[in-house]
Structure 1
Amino acid sequence: MKSAPATLAFVESPVQLLNLLEWAHTATTDLTVVVLSPLDPMSRGQLRRMAELARGEGITVRWEEARGGAAAPFRTIGGLLPLLHGAGRIVIGDPFSRYVQLLLSITGARDLTVVDDGTATMEFIAQLAARQPLTRWHRRGRRGPRDLLFAPMSSAARRRLTPSRRRTVEVFSAMPVDTAPPGLTITRNDFAWTRARFGPPRITRTSDLVGTSLVETGVVDPDRYITAVASLARTHHATRYFAHRREATDKLHRLHIETGLEIVRPDLPLELIARRGPIGRTIVSFPSTVVHTLPLALTGTEVRVAVCDIDPVWLTATASPRAQSFLAGVTGTARDVQRLTPMGSAPAAGR
């Protein structure tokens, strides 16, 4: 039987796997990656492609159908127990994931690393420093029965992710970090692996827009979002819209009809798509991870990244009270980007 690897990593999204490859580029370790596969087809497709890239780097990748039915979690965790008990370091991409929190409660690893899961990393560090419960920023304050059921596990995970004399905790991130708890090691992700493997890209004369799942998460009104995208497309002469992997098909169809934009469903994270090219001379995004990561991935090119703030009137009535301040912080802390004033704030239907 193969012995447990020195480092065991758990990823659930393509972006997490990309940032794990960036971390592995800076570390020397015997690494096995466990993909806790999601159910949505776009995420699965991108993860398959990223897994191929990881294997090409000599990394062992283990694909787990971790959500394929009621028995899947028990089967997955049971099969991982020898690796969990033997690994000296655990690397995770999403500390808010209940699946990951459960795995953290089982492992005895002394060293923990959190690789970027986008802007959620900023919220994770802030909550850890404030000793707050681990809660995603777009969730409203009310806690349902499932939240109460998993509350003890979430609290245990937060304790495991807090540095102590017995345990080291590292965060590998491209995100800005203002306040970190004592003892937390912050390692800068500058996308060295991406820049070494891909590009430089061919740059077109037009602009590209980057989509967001803020409508799907209930934060932004869909009518206002489409109006804003149309206005940005006209102003910046954009021809393509790179869809977020969680964007709904019907919304994307409506975007295409109303804006004329070519809708692109990327088969890899946007940092790799942009680095491979062709890519627009200007990339326009709403507040999201890419306003922090694309300037790093495209260092040395002439591509300009611009970010359009979210107008408060675009928010839905059910959006989290923290939504506006969090999104403003994502934009305000971005480096090497152009700030754009919100546009296209026509009244939403039914209001």
Structure 2
Amino acid sequence: MTAADPAAAANLAFVESPVQLLNVLEWSHHTGRRDLTVVVLSPTDPMSRGQLRRMAGIARDEGVAVRWQEARTGRGSLPRTLRDLAPLLRAAERVIVGDPFSRYVQLLLTLFGPRALTVVDDGTATMEFTAQLARGERLVRWHRPGGLRAPREIALAPVTALARRRLAPAGRRSVEVFTALPVEAPPGTTVTPNRFAWTRARFGPPRLTRGADLVGTSLVETGVVDPDRYAQAVAALAAAHGATRYFAHRRESVEKLHRIAVTTGLEIVRPELPLELIARRGPIGRTLLSFPSTVVHTLPPALAGTGITITVCAIAPEWLRATASPRARGFLAGVTESARSAHGLSLTGA
């Protein structure tokens, strides 16, 4: 089996983001399973593609076979991708996915039901996924606005419904959730904690700076938080805590980041790898400030023993857009409170 042309493996992973690939490596390290092929269903945005290219290089250095699949190049890419991946899917004993809400992943699962399934983190959506699976609900991202369903969503409803059944344990199929997030196992499902042991062994410990760093979020881009409120909050946090750098999320817009740089004087850093690895490599501030997102659960285990303090900034209700999902307020509050409870993080306001 070579990295350039991976052969069929017992464990087959589909990833669409750098964080998913990081967590697949953590799963492989935790389980000791080396018969692994990772298929990158390449996204279209340049930042994600760049981070994925670098993560793919790290994975290959770890002896993992990686296949880069241009799955979104236009007309004909979907049937070509399904045709190319069919042999790997049929041979795999276990399929590992990072985003159970992905239409691409759902379609693959409907065509080829896995014998065993593992879901790794791609974000806080893991919390919503396990809750919806336990309640038997249809799979809907937490930030998706309520109301009438879009025509595309209605057309894909049969695919989503079948995928949901494939994502649940049934008969001889086992389902595992490998996560750093505090979730309760749905009936018949195994939850395995992700302690970021591979990350801690592979990188660091980091060199610490005296100041504070602020971690950005894509809540504006996903339509949850008002952009003006967000910019004001970033400015207030930077002033109150003496932050000097802003680590941008890969999906944050250039226009928003330019505004933050101009109005706050913060140095904008666009990481080349997931923040968990960047923070382990350093240099990094002794204090990290973050809005409620995945990193308030992943950074504590990744940075354990480094002396770094992580502080979470709650999202005030008035920051939310009028069009935000009705679930957004409660979900974000839950992320904040669970981070405080699970990791003892301090809370600050802006």
Structures share a fold, TM > 0.5?
yes
Indicate the residue corresponding to 1:271 in structure 2.
Answer: 276
The residue that corresponds to 1:198 in the other structure is 203
Among residues 1, 6, 19, which one is paired with 2:23 in the alignment? 19
TM-score (norm: length of structure 1): 0.96
Distance 1:13 1:2, change over 3 A: closer
2:178: which partner in 1?
172
Of 290, 314, 317, which residue of structure 2 is paired with 1:312?
A: 317
Residue pairs, 1:151-230, within 5 angstroms = 151-177=157-183, 179-230=184-235
Shift of 1:181: 1.8
Confirm whether residue 338 of structure 1 aligns to residue 345 of structure 2.
Answer: yes
Partner secondary structure for residue 24 of structure 1: helix
Name the counterpart of 1:98.
Answer: 103
Tell me how far apart the structure 2 counterparts of residues 158 and 13 of structure 1 sit (CA, whole Å).
21
SS of residue paired to 1:153 = helix
Shift of 1:336: 2.5
How far apart are residue 74 of structure 1 and its match?
1.1
**Counterpart residue identity of residue 174, structure 1:** A
* Ranges in structure 2 where 5+ consecutive residues have no aligned partner: none
Quote the RMSD (CA, aligned, Å).
Answer: 1.1
Q: Quote how far apart the aligned CAs of 1:109 are.
A: 2.3
Q: How big is each residue's C-alpha offset from its partner over 1:260-296, in whole Å with a ceiling of 9 and x where there is no partner?
A: 0000000000000000000000000000000001010
- Partners of 2:348 and 2:293 lie apart in 1 by 16
Deviation at 1:342, TM superposition (A): 2.6
Give, in whole Å, the separation in 2 of the partners of 1:75 and 1:23: 29
CA distance in 2 between partners of 1:301 and 1:145 (Å): 49
The correspondence of residues 281-320 of structure 1 with structure 2, limited to 5 A, is 281-320=286-325
Whole-Å Cα distance in 1 between the matches of residues 302 and 89 of structure 2? 33
Kept after mapping to 2: 8 A contact 1:306/1:337: no
Whether contact under 8 Å (2:238, 2:244) holds in the other structure is: yes
How many residues align? The count is 342
Are the counterparts in 2 of residues 307 and 337 from structure 1 also a CA contact under 8 Å? Answer: no
For residues 124 and 175 of structure 2, the distance between their equivalents in structure 1, rounded to whole angstroms, comes to 19
Q: TM-score, normalised by structure 2?
A: 0.96
Letter in 1 for 2:24: L
Contact 1:309 1:339 in 2 (8 A): no
Structure 2 SS opposite 1:263: strand
Q: Measure how far apart 1:2 and its partner are.
A: 7.5
Residue pair 2:6, 2:67 contacting (<8 A) in 1 also: no
Q: Percent identity?
A: 68
Corresponding residue number in structure 1 for 2:77 = 72
CA contact (8 A) 1:241 1:261 kept: yes
Alignment-derived partner of residue 237 in structure 2: 232
Task: Please list the CA deviations of residues 79-120 of structure 1 after superposition, one character each: whole Å capped at 9, or x if unmatched.
Answer: 111111111110000000000000101224210000111101
Aligned equivalent of 2:123: 118
Shift of 1:41: 0.3
The answer as to 2:14 corresponding to 1:10 is yes
Aligned match of 2:330 in 305, 309, 325?
325
For residue 23 of structure 2, what is the amino acid of its counterpart? N
One-letter amino acid matched to 1:319: A
- SS state of the match for residue 246, structure 2? strand
